[in-house]
A and B are shown apart, each in its own frame.
Chain A
Amino acid sequence: MTSSAVTYRYVESDLLRQRYHYMYTPYEGPDFLRAYLSHRRQLRDELSALRRQALAHPSKDLDIAEEIRQACLPDSSRLGQKPLRSRPLAVLPAQPGQCEFTTMDVLLDLWHCFGYDPPRAERQGSAWLDVLVSRFEVTKRLYRGYTTSLRPVDRTRGPAENYALLAALLMHSHRAGGSVKYLNAVLKLNDLLASIGPSTQGTITQLVQLVAVEAELAALQDRLEHHRVEL
């Protein structure tokens, strides 16, 4: 916690229940950035504790989450089966708009490509990420699926895993030279997940969000240094 009166207010209500569009947010000075860093470090520690618990109970979800961690971070300490590697692509090589798709399928396809098919990730990754970012930014939701005109198939909310899978994907791409637009979306995705509460989420959401939060924090630290902002 910080000693300042400034708090990180953007996670205080459930953002899945109540959309937040970040219009005209106030300027609160350097204390705001301190409050943000404090919040995210606390969230990272909470998620790390949940990961330690999950590692004691092998499951397919744990394998998927650790496979993603392996693709992003050098410190993956446990790698069992690799469900993503053996999973056949469900939507790709289709381009956005060529077919109706289920959001989760595209996200898992993209993870497969980023992990095991870099040429395809290079060719198709950014087009799909741009579409998913656009869908999320406009509605602050990721729906279960989208039509060829990129409208929601129906108003069924997709699972929380989708937000975590997209956040980690965007950070993976951001590190590889992706735009600040992706980091902007990750901050909002992680706000949304944090506002729901990590302890109520499934293993994939918890562990993949940990990957995204760690990468987000590292990216912000880099930017603070780059912009010579001392806190």
Chain B
Amino acid sequence: MILPGVGLIATDSSRTRAYLAAMLDRELLPACAIFLSEGQTATTRSFPPVPYFDNSVAALETIRAAGIPCEVIETDDVNSPEVVDAVRNSPVDVLVYSGPGGAILRQDMLNAGKRFLHVHPGLLPSFRGSTTMYYSLLVDGSCGASALFLDADIDAGPVLATRAYPPPDDRSTIDHGYDPYIRSDLLVQVLEEYRQTGTFSALAQPDEPGETYYIMHPVLRHLAILSNRTSETVGE
């Protein structure tokens, strides 16, 4: 089923491939897509196989095979004028966001008249910022995801849903496997609710202090991966 009013803005990444796999599986397809090709390498990008979803097919190939109308823009800058124009002219109200990692939407884009549905790999408002799945594993042995609409402040927009997940059995596959998988799982949960109700229901984040984290240093990342503690044992 095509979801009216919902599009996708994406680059080819593990996250986009996970999103597309989940949306195809649940028959929750976007009405259109804006694809940032990031140059010639995008169509040949490959990722190590993961047990959570099929990541072997390039995202653009999947989009085209599914018959999703798609505008391809040769850029890796999600805030470029061409992308802002494409967003402004897209026939949808909400775009599922799966743009380049680490990119922050600038005011031009946020003022383009659309809302951006992003799934963040951490429970908000406690874990904002970058590499938060690793931080939550270190801090309390947990994993989680939050679906939100983006606004000018990092991971501070209104939240549509949050969900806790168990830590993965193999933490070395988080970046390209478990992280995109749990985000896709929460995404289709939110899209399913939209399909049933016809609306997105979002709430402002509670006014409680959250921590904004910065990209995790490899030493701490290794510690999070190799940790033998879980949420059950972390308080011991």
Contact = CB atoms under 8 A, between A and B. Distances in A.
Interface of A: 10, 21-25, 27-30, 32-33, 36, 133-134, 137-138, 179-181, 183-185, 187-188, 191, 220, 223-224, 226-229
B222 to A, nearest CB: 5
A32 B218 contact: yes
B220 A187 contact: yes
Nearest to A40: B219
B227 interface: yes
Nearest to B135: A180
Interface string B205-219: 000000111111111
B86 interface: no
A33 B226 CA distance: 10
Given A22-B216, A36-B222, A180-B139, 4 more contacts: A27-B222, A29-B222, A181-B214, A223-B138
Contacts of A181: 135, 211, 213-214
Interface centre among B135, B175, B217 (most CB of A within 10 A): B217
Contact of B217 (A133, A187, A226): A187
Interface residues of B, number: 25
Nearest to B225: A27
B129 to A, nearest CB: 9
Contacts, number: 76
Contact of A36 (B102, B213, B219): B219
A133 B211 CA distance: 13
A219 to B, nearest CB: 10
A184 B229 contact: no
Contact of A228 (B139, B172, B229): B229
A21 B227 contact: no
A10 B218 CA distance: 9
A184 B222 contact: no
A62 B228 CA distance: 43
Given A24-B175, A137-B214, A180-B138, A30 B221 contact: no
Contacts of B216: 22, 184
29 contacts: A21-B215, A22-B218, A27-B222, A28-B222, A29-B222, A32-B218, A33-B222, A134-B214, A137-B215, A179-B211, A180-B138, A180-B139, A181-B135, A181-B211, A183-B220, A184-B213, A184-B216, A185-B214, A187-B217, A220-B219, A223-B138, A224-B223, A226-B229, A227-B138, A227-B226, A227-B227, A227-B229, A228-B227, A228-B228
Interface of A (DSSP majority class) = helix
Contacts of A22: 215-218
Contacts of A138: 214
Contacts of B213: 181, 184
Contacts of A187: 217, 219-220
Contact of B223 (A179, A188, A227): A227
A127 to B, nearest CB: 12
A28 B139 CA distance: 22
A32 B214 contact: no
A25 B212 CA distance: 20
Nearest to A25: B218
Contacts of A27: 172, 221-222, 225
B101 A23 contact: yes
B210 to A, nearest CB: 11
A21 B217 CA distance: 9
A92 B220 CA distance: 33
Contact of A33 (B135, B139, B223): B223
B227 to A, nearest CB: 4
A180 B139 CA distance: 8
Interface in B170-226: 172, 175, 211-223, 225-226
B96 to A, nearest CB: 22
Contact of A229 (B101, B215, B217, B226): B226
